[in-house]
Chain A
């Protein structure tokens, strides 16, 4: 496997997706933050300045994430593909994915 040559995800794309999720999570936390004071305190303890600072990932972490996602996706497609092939269809349908999904998720 020449992973370097294999097409993979753009780190920028992954970063954008991550950020999207982080922001969403942060907003959720803010919304729900008041009841669970423990988590809030710990966050505040980490620094109120940090709270406003958006989460970030460094370059290597992004690269690693890209690779992980690539492997995950290819594996999912491969597995679903075998199911689809066994079924005789040329297109991977959601049902094929559903069949391999639980084990796939546990494998990662």
Chain B
């Protein structure tokens, strides 16, 4: 070409087709690994290609074969091996027989000029077919019309016979025999040939040969090739495709492969159409076969022509063409199945040809230089020289002749069209090298469901940021574990019916509540009701002691409230007008406290309970401080467990405040001060000291309880209020004694000394101290406190002395400032006390019995619990106890009920002891602060002392006791839950 012309590549085709199948073979092949070789072999005839050129107005034709320099780098070398297989004596005999049969017919046709004069041995069915077509289109004029049918019959017979012969030569005796059988069964062939002796002989020969069981030589050779192949290659990674033109031979091959099943996992791969003998494979089966073949489930497939095109299986490194006498196009495609990944050394095509034992061809390689042993492709065709190899060679020759035409772009052979440029001249196509790579082959599978498409649900848009945060807090979109509400988080709460809105509690709920109460040891004694009626306060105490939520329950709440209220009212009556002021103050304080406490309560899971209780308890102002105490207790417990020191500190601070309040409420502010001091002392002392203090305090509490009973009796007997007072004071004193008892431990000595000094001053003031001593003795004698009793007994003497000593310190502050208030207090106390004492008395009795019933262990446990970190609580509780002994008894009862639980909790608490100590230290600091506050409160209390304080003490004590009892229970529950 003189000037370069822009070309438009229309198509790339591997096999531009033979005569009739142009379009179907114009395959655009752009295989990724470029192993498609372009137009290497053409079987197309010159006119066919010219036809394409004309139809498509092709202006240029580029031709490359695998030897061209711009193609060869992309072509994997392939070893083509021709293996000649001797046909075998039987087969050649049969062949001869068939030829004998054929010869007369050919001669007859030849005589009529219908067949070219050729060697009848070389004729093929195709030749006969074309001849017959020619005959049909233009029958020879000299042939009479009547003879036409005869000629047709001859043609039919010859075609069949040649076909059989072809089968025989390419596939062996069995397919040939089967075809012969089939043809003889019906149709014109059987009519004509059933009496032919030669044919019968040939058939007999074939039958005999088959009955021998001797395998077809091609099959045995095939097995040999396969075994060789799989010996050198890994059977797992290597794949082999065996092509055969007929399904019959496919089946034979499959049968033959059965013998080497351990090495070869073979399956057939055939078309869909179902014939008479063999059923076709549906597309589904075909896909499954290929899938398994790819995956390695099979390493050999035996395919008909269906497998010749389009299979892209990288691992195939051997293709065996069981019959090679097919069109070169198909041979090219067959061989294209291999060498797709590996280099040529590993890929090979083997063609099996029958080698005729009759030397019909002098030079089988004649005219086919590239196929010969010296060929570049190392052709090692073991081909049968018979009709099969002959046909193959002929087809190769024709393709080569086409090649010649195609050289130089076919300029010489074809006439091209000067097509105008189709792309507008504005556009100048540039050459770009773009690598099109497929990172990962994704087989087209089932449609993926779109479940994974997570759209943000529309409701999200309506939520505020805080709300979404809240949702995210409990429902993580990513993590599987979403928050689930716990059903066992608040077992104590479940002991009481919760408030309902519209839906009332069911019987099952009531059963749950009952059982929970049982579990918590909250069952009320049989005489409970009686007590309730008689002593409202006591019942209230009872209820409060165990039941936190009874406040919520309307039935129980009201009596309790009534009691307390009644007490309040009584107090109020007795009290001067100052009482409301106090209450208001208390409320205020309470409000503050609650405000302070609520956040902390939030911090603890369980605190909220108490908070709620507070809310419920708001009705009773008196109860408020106690509630705080409870809170404090709770928080302390929790803190101990969680080691949250800070919280505890805060709470302690509160507790101090509450203490202050209590102080205020109590007329005996002095005493409280003293107590505080003692507490301070305790706190100052080592944690051990505190613990011992607590134990002692408990002891004292118990002791106090007992004294109360006498108090009650005294009151009942209208004994002097002073006595009561004394008794009241005495518990305080006992508390002091506790602190005094502490001194027994060497550490506390310093504190003791101080206390003793104070006590000395106190003792003279109170003549009741001996009573206390007696009471103490009584306590010690009581079976309930066996352990302690012993301790007390042993330490009685000391205690008494200590008592005295302790009395003194109390008196120092008290006497100095408030000796006078005490007396008025006593007076005032009388009336309320009478009421209270009645109730208290009953309670105390009740309690005392309960205490007796109680085992020693619970008490100890309790001590432990308190030891852990309740120093502040204990102190507060001490105060409470002093004021009201009954509460202690209640506590003890509740404790006794929860004995096992307590023991558990006790164990749990022991561990955190270290933390507790630190707590205590901190508490000590707080307490110092508290002192200041107490002083302030003292001032206030001073003013109130006259009418008020005493009255209050009792009710507050009751309420506080109750609440403190609750607190203990709650603590126990918490411990339980934690231990869970």
Partners in one complex: yes
Q: How far is the CA of A74 from the CA of B497 in the complex (A)?
A: 18
Determine if A88 and B509 form an interchain contact, defined as CB atoms under 8 angstroms apart.
no
Determine if A71 and B493 form an interchain contact, defined as CB atoms under 8 angstroms apart.
no
**Residues in A whose Cβ lies below 8 Å from that of B613:** 86
**Residues in A whose Cβ lies below 8 Å from that of B500:** 75, 79, 107
Determine if A79 and B612 form an interchain contact, defined as CB atoms under 8 angstroms apart.
no
Q: How far is the CB of B872 from chain A (nearest CB, A)?
A: 23
Q: How far is the CB of B104 from chain A (nearest CB, A)?
A: 69
Determine if A102 and B503 form an interchain contact, defined as CB atoms under 8 angstroms apart.
no
Report the stretch among B222-230, B482-490, B709-717, B792-800 that lies at the interface. B482-490
B513 contacts chain A at the CB level, 8 A cutoff: yes
Residues in B440-494 with C-beta less than 8 Å from chain A: 474, 483, 485-487, 489-490, 493-494
- Closest residue of chain A to B473 (Cβ to Cβ) is A94
- Closest residue of chain B to A105 (Cβ to Cβ) is B487
Q: How far is the CB of A61 from chain B (nearest CB, A)?
A: 21
B615 contacts chain A at the CB level, 8 A cutoff: yes
Determine if B474 and A106 form an interchain contact, defined as CB atoms under 8 angstroms apart.
no
Determine if A87 and B489 form an interchain contact, defined as CB atoms under 8 angstroms apart.
no
Residues in B496-538 with C-beta less than 8 Å from chain A: 497-506, 508-509, 512-513
| Of listed A71, A78, A98, residue having the most chain B CB within 10 A | A98
- Closest residue of chain A to B598 (Cβ to Cβ) is A88
Q: A82-B499, A94-B474, A99-B498 are in contact. Are A106 and B512 (CB under 8 A)?
A: yes
Determine if A103 and B502 form an interchain contact, defined as CB atoms under 8 angstroms apart.
no
**Residues in A whose Cβ lies below 8 Å from that of B602:** 87, 89, 93
For B601, give its contact among A87, A94, A106 (CB under 8 Å).
A87
**Residues in A whose Cβ lies below 8 Å from that of B608:** 83, 87, 93, 95-96, 99
B605 contacts chain A at the CB level, 8 A cutoff: yes
For A86, give its contact among B483, B506, B611 (CB under 8 Å).
B611
B616 contacts chain A at the CB level, 8 A cutoff: yes
One digit per residue, 1 when the CB lies within 8 angstroms of any chain B CB and 0 when it does not, for chain A 60-100 equals 00000000000100110011001101111100011111111
Q: How far is the CA of A87 from the CA of B599 in the complex (A)?
A: 10
**Residues in B whose Cβ lies below 8 Å from that of A82:** 498-499, 501
B609 contacts chain A at the CB level, 8 A cutoff: yes
- Closest residue of chain B to A85 (Cβ to Cβ) is B615
**Residues in B whose Cβ lies below 8 Å from that of A100:** 498
- Closest residue of chain A to B513 (Cβ to Cβ) is A103
- Closest residue of chain B to A1 (Cβ to Cβ) is B502
Q: How far is the CA of A101 from the CA of B485 in the complex (A)?
A: 8
Q: How far is the CB of A72 from chain B (nearest CB, A)?
A: 8
Q: How far is the CA of A100 from the CA of B501 in the complex (A)?
A: 12
Determine if B612 and A74 form an interchain contact, defined as CB atoms under 8 angstroms apart.
no
Q: How far is the CA of A87 from the CA of B613 in the complex (A)?
A: 8
For A79, give its contact among B498, B611, B615 (CB under 8 Å).
B498
Q: How far is the CB of A77 from chain B (nearest CB, A)?
A: 9
Determine if A88 and B483 form an interchain contact, defined as CB atoms under 8 angstroms apart.
no
B565 contacts chain A at the CB level, 8 A cutoff: no
**Residues in B whose Cβ lies below 8 Å from that of A101:** 485, 487
- Closest residue of chain A to B604 (Cβ to Cβ) is A95
Residues in B530-561 with C-beta less than 8 Å from chain A: none
B594 contacts chain A at the CB level, 8 A cutoff: yes
Determine if B485 and A78 form an interchain contact, defined as CB atoms under 8 angstroms apart.
no
Q: How far is the CA of A102 from the CA of B506 in the complex (A)?
A: 12
Determine if B489 and A86 form an interchain contact, defined as CB atoms under 8 angstroms apart.
no
Q: How far is the CA of A75 from the CA of B503 in the complex (A)?
A: 7
Determine if B494 and A103 form an interchain contact, defined as CB atoms under 8 angstroms apart.
yes
Determine if A107 and B509 form an interchain contact, defined as CB atoms under 8 angstroms apart.
yes
| Of listed B483, B500, B512, residue having the most chain A CB within 10 A | B500
Residues in B567-612 with C-beta less than 8 Å from chain A: 594, 598, 601-602, 605, 608-609, 611-612
Determine if A102 and B512 form an interchain contact, defined as CB atoms under 8 angstroms apart.
yes
**Residues in A whose Cβ lies below 8 Å from that of B474:** 94
- Closest residue of chain A to B492 (Cβ to Cβ) is A99
Q: How far is the CA of A89 from the CA of B611 in the complex (A)?
A: 10
One digit per residue, 1 when the CB lies within 8 angstroms of any chain A CB and 0 when it does not, for chain B 601-640 equals 1100100110111111000000000000000000000000
One digit per residue, 1 when the CB lies within 8 angstroms of any chain B CB and 0 when it does not, for chain A 39-51 equals 0000000000000
**Residues in B whose Cβ lies below 8 Å from that of A87:** 598, 601-602, 608, 611-612, 615
Q: Chain B interface (Cβ within 8 Å of chain A)?
A: 474, 483, 485-487, 489-490, 493-494, 497-506, 508-509, 512-513, 594, 598, 601-602, 605, 608-609, 611-616
23 A-B residue contacts at CB 8 Å?
A: A71-B502, A71-B503, A75-B501, A78-B502, A79-B501, A85-B615, A86-B614, A86-B616, A88-B594, A88-B611, A89-B602, A93-B602, A94-B485, A95-B605, A98-B485, A98-B486, A99-B490, A103-B512, A106-B505, A106-B506, A106-B512, A107-B500, A107-B505
Q: Chain A interface (Cβ within 8 Å of chain B)?
A: 1, 71, 74-75, 78-79, 82-83, 85-89, 93-108
Further contacts, 18 of them, CB under 8 A, given A83-B498, A83-B612, A87-B601: A71-B502, A75-B500, A78-B502, A79-B498, A82-B499, A83-B608, A85-B615, A88-B598, A93-B602, A93-B608, A95-B608, A98-B489, A99-B493, A99-B609, A103-B494, A107-B503, A107-B504, A107-B505
